[in-house]
Amino acid sequence: MQHPDLIIMDVIMNERTEGFFTVQEMRRTVELKSVPIFILSSLYSQVTDFGIPPNSSWLAHDEFLSKPVNMPELLEKIQRCMEERHRNLQALVGRKAET
């Protein structure tokens, strides 16, 4: 089974809360728990009274970008995220080699 390096998704789906439950379920799944989740959504332009800021930790996402997405910003965030995951993996491998 292959696991993604990164998940990019919207939270607006058929049901208004379906995407939120999907993110929460992914965080409870062992294989996906540590996979970064980027949310690209027009949520805040469509639901002006949403009440929870996009940078709050309640959704357990790594990045929130509003649609329409700024592609250079998205690519920069993806690159930074992948570089950090690579550094963390290298540090983990180094610690295991020392033991």
| Residue 43 tokens, joined | 């949520």
The domain that contains 88 carries what CATH number?
3.40.50.2300
Angle (nearest 5°) at CA 47 between 53 and 38: 50
Q: CA-CA distance, 75 to 53, in Å (whole number)?
A: 23
Decide: 23 and 37 in contact? Cβ < 8 Å: yes
Whether residue 44 is contained in a domain is answered as yes
pLDDT in tens, 26-75: 999 999 998 999 998 877 666 565 555 556 666 788 988 888 999 999 99
Whether residue 14 is contained in a domain is answered as yes
Global pTM reads: 0.79
pLDDT at 53: 57
Q: What range does the domain containing 71 cover?
A: 7-98
- Domains in the chain, number: 1
Contacts of 43 (CB under 8 A, 6+ apart): 11, 12, 50, 54, 66
Whether residue 57 is contained in a domain is answered as yes
Whether residue 36 is contained in a domain is answered as yes
